[in-house]
Structure 1
């Protein structure tokens, strides 16, 4: 299919129309955006800043307010002379680019105009707000002034009507009222001069000073009353109480109570001076320290009173406790001497009881000294109480030590009884073992068995001698008993093993006799087992030889023999 000239021409026309449509649309869009920027600019310029400046100009400003006004005028002039003009110029350039179909440059110019417009709008709004505040400051000042004046009059009335409650601070408070009056006078002067901002600052200062005064008026009577009605009465009470305690023969070591009372009173007087000058923070610091010291003085005196009562009760108790612990110690000493005649003592009981005796004697002497100090009114009761409590604690320790010694001694007799009983059991077990072996009619026993048997016999004799000594050493006896028990257990195992192996060997040979004439190997095994049994007394090896040979001939034979023996043995035990 061939393309004609008409087709090409038609395509060109279509493309041209499409491009023209796109260009027309973009131009229309840019033009619309320019109109929107112009509308925003016009709206921004309608803000009533010029009217506000005119209003302020006619208010005859001065001082700080006038300087603020002039600064705001300069800001407005900068906006109108430069930024508004620059925005307008940028918008015109954008329109020219649109007319020239330079749409990209037009877009860039519009973006620049938008940025300028946004930043300028912020500055215009801020300027408008500041001008509004400046215009409204006279009204806000007046409202605040009236509120402060009402508070001032309330405070003044309070001071005048309750001057007695404020004590020596009344002069300082009246001076504070005068300073506030001067602040109000200065405020009125600034307002009449047209310096409304400076007047606003003066109201802020007045508010702060008035708040301080109100706080003083609230706290000062309470603080002054606390000093005169509480702290000073407490000091008088402490001084009188101290004098009564001195009359009752109390001693206070190096603590000079009346001097401390005078020191606290001087601090309270200093606090009063600070209250008079309305320096409540420093006054409160001194009062807090005085309160801590007063409480400490009360605690100090009360501790001596409480200690006296405790000393009287504890002395009566310790009189009995010392007598009792001394009697207990005498009994313990006698018991140690008695037991030492029959047993060797290894825990140093004699020296320990002698040491306890010396300590009890020392505590009795100290206790007697304390009693004398109390009788002669030379005792500082808190210190006496501490020493008495230490004596009481040591008495408890002596009692614990005595009980430990008595318990260790009491166990010696029982330990001896147990050792003798065990020795009797060892002798009985040895005789029974010997009879059991004799009943087996064994051809002989190994040398190792005889060695162990004679060792056990010697140990039994030695243990018997040790238990029959005048002074029995139970530590040595118990060590010997433990060794004897181990050797006895080993000997029991050896004897039981000999009996089992010997009996089983005899039963195995009896069971094997039915095969000895038919099977030469069995005849040889029986002869070898009998040699080991009768000639060398090696019963375990003899059993091993005959059991293996029987198993080769009769696999169930060894098991049957062993089962029969175990049943017989069990029946014999029961």
Structure 2
């Protein structure tokens, strides 16, 4: 097959490019046509909206003031929309269609973008116009409903104020003035409505609603405050004045408060609250009454505390003299006992100084009690302060008694402790002698040096105990420590003595047993000689036992255990 010439390939390439371009142009043309149809549909929908009818209807309605100003604003927006924006959008749509039909798809697309923004803005403006015109048209109807509701509230509040005028006290004048102002505001609303200024009428109705809210709150809040100012507070003030004079004449005094001055201030505060009532200052009145109630309660509390304190003081006055006498007698007895024991014992807890200090505290308490009694007698006592002082005295005496009983208990154990110490000393001496005698009875060649030194230590400890217990003043605390140490050391000495006795006895028995073995066993023979030498020279009986026992056990396994078992059995029968 002949090859295609170069010019043929070029022609084919050009045709392909033209076909592609033509396809793209046709596709863009189709897309533009579709977009234009959609935009034309949106433009027709805008033209079909009943904005013209809304404008014409409101134009025939009597409007004035803010309502008329608002209508003119949105009427102007409607005119601009229909006379400027609509024709401009139509021109853009026509230009876009013309360019698209002429296959100028790029220019057509530019027109489409521009007209899309324009129509979107038209739709937004048309919606704003429609909502604003509807609002203007609805305001009159809404105002009428709001006015009827407000007038109904006004009638109910007026009825309540007139029927219950007595419950509002001096605030009735201000409340009636408020009613008059609200009624005049209703008349102004009627004037605005008849002139067509419905928006301003709505604002006026909103103001009336706020006034009704405030009036309703006043009608609810004022009667309880009036009752407080008219009936409760004056009665309480009168009761406080009478109560104060009655308490004063019966000997009551008060600390850190000038009650006559406080009563005068209460009367002034009541008058000040009445002034707030006349001005219909509900928040101020509520705050003033709250403060009045708190101050009145405080004065009641002050007087009641004094009366309660007096009752408590009377109980303490009846009980404290006997308590003071008891504490004084107890202290004197304890001091005598402490001084007596101090002659025979070393007192380690400053009992002499402590009991003397208690005596001074009791005397001071007696003096304070006497001073409080004098104040009561002279009718100069503040019972809350006296009660506080007597309570402290009572607690102080109770604490002193508790400590004195503890000291007496500790001291009562001194003589018993001395007797127990002497009994223990006697027992230690006897056990030491028995241990020493038992060791002598063994007829041992001697005793190890360490044992003899330890036995001497125990002997000296027992001797020191005997010496300290025979002093003019005995230190039982120190003696108690010595008793504990000596008892432990004596126990150790007895155990070491028993160990030495057992080791010596077993050594002798195994040496006798070894006599039969050493003729044929050189190791046993050497061990026998070595153990005998240790036994008789250094007196280390446990080492001697270990030396011979090890050799015998090696020569005859089990021999040592048998000898030891027989020894323990025999010893147990003794």
Structure 1 residue 61 displacement after superposition: 2.5
Number of residue-to-residue matches in the alignment? 569
Structure 1 residue 542 displacement after superposition: 1.9
Q: Is 1:181 aligned with 2:183?
A: yes
Within the candidate set 112, 117, 126, 2:128 is matched to: 126
Aligned counterparts, 1:16-415, within 5 A: 31-81=33-83, 84=86, 87-88=89-90, 91-92=93-94, 95=97, 99=101, 117-118=119-120, 120-253=122-255, 255-415=257-417
Q: Is 1:459 aligned with 2:461?
A: yes
Alignment deviations for residues 9-33 of structure 1 (CA, whole Å, 9 cap, x no partner): xxxx9xx999999998886676455
Give the superposed CA RMSD.
Answer: 3.3
Distance change >3 Å, CA 278–CA 436, structure 1 → 2 = same
Structure 1 residue 380 displacement after superposition: 1.8
**Distance between the aligned counterparts of 2:547 and 2:80, measured in 1?**
130
Give yes or no for contact 1:511–1:557 (8 Å, CA) kept in 2: no
Gaps of 5+ in 1: 5-12
Structure 1 residue 143 displacement after superposition: 1.4
Aligned to 1:434: 436
Q: What SS does the corresponding residue of 1:515 show, helix, strand or coil?
A: coil
Structure 1 residue 503 displacement after superposition: 3.0
Distance change >3 Å, CA 437–CA 94, structure 1 → 2 = farther
**Distance between the aligned counterparts of 2:3 and 2:573, measured in 1?**
133
Alignment deviations for residues 421-450 of structure 1 (CA, whole Å, 9 cap, x no partner): 322332232233224323433211012211
Give yes or no for contact 1:504–1:543 (8 Å, CA) kept in 2: yes
Aligned counterparts, 1:396-545, within 5 A: 396-545=398-547
Structure 1 residue 366 displacement after superposition: 1.9
Distance change >3 Å, CA 97–CA 320, structure 1 → 2 = farther
Distance change >3 Å, CA 489–CA 79, structure 1 → 2 = farther
Structure 1 residue 281 displacement after superposition: 0.8
**Distance between the aligned counterparts of 2:221 and 2:523, measured in 1?**
125
Q: What SS does the corresponding residue of 1:327 show, helix, strand or coil?
A: helix
Alignment deviations for residues 61-85 of structure 1 (CA, whole Å, 9 cap, x no partner): 2222222223223433454455545
Of 439-448 and 35-44, the range deviating more from structure 2: 35-44
Give yes or no for contact 1:180–1:209 (8 Å, CA) kept in 2: yes
Q: What SS does the corresponding residue of 1:445 show, helix, strand or coil?
A: coil
Distance change >3 Å, CA 44–CA 469, structure 1 → 2 = same
Alignment deviations for residues 230-267 of structure 1 (CA, whole Å, 9 cap, x no partner): 01110000001111112222223563323211111111
Structure 1 residue 155 displacement after superposition: 2.6
Distance change >3 Å, CA 463–CA 32, structure 1 → 2 = same
**Distance between the aligned counterparts of 1:555 and 1:19, measured in 2?**
124
Of 256-265 and 108-117, the range deviating more from structure 2: 108-117
Distance change >3 Å, CA 39–CA 488, structure 1 → 2 = same
**Distance between the aligned counterparts of 2:553 and 2:128, measured in 1?**
120
Gaps of 5+ in 2: 5-14
Of 307-316 and 493-502, the range deviating more from structure 2: 493-502
Alignment deviations for residues 79-99 of structure 1 (CA, whole Å, 9 cap, x no partner): 445554565556556655654
**Distance between the aligned counterparts of 1:96 and 1:496, measured in 2?**
138
Within the candidate set 541, 553, 556, 2:555 is matched to: 553
Give yes or no for contact 1:166–1:220 (8 Å, CA) kept in 2: yes
**Distance between the aligned counterparts of 2:422 and 2:217, measured in 1?**
95
**Distance between the aligned counterparts of 1:524 and 1:490, measured in 2?**
34
Aligned to 2:9: none
**Distance between the aligned counterparts of 2:94 and 2:553, measured in 1?**
129
Of 411-420 and 131-140, the range deviating more from structure 2: 411-420
What TM-score do the two structures reach when normalised by structure 2? 0.89
Q: What SS does the corresponding residue of 1:346 show, helix, strand or coil?
A: coil
Give yes or no for contact 1:239–1:257 (8 Å, CA) kept in 2: no
Of 403-412 and 188-197, the range deviating more from structure 2: 188-197
Q: What SS does the corresponding residue of 2:516 show, helix, strand or coil?
A: helix
Distance change >3 Å, CA 3–CA 454, structure 1 → 2 = same
Of 265-274 and 328-337, the range deviating more from structure 2: 328-337
Distance change >3 Å, CA 501–CA 252, structure 1 → 2 = same
Distance change >3 Å, CA 263–CA 514, structure 1 → 2 = same
**Distance between the aligned counterparts of 1:59 and 1:357, measured in 2?**
108
Q: What SS does the corresponding residue of 1:53 show, helix, strand or coil?
A: helix
Distance change >3 Å, CA 526–CA 43, structure 1 → 2 = same
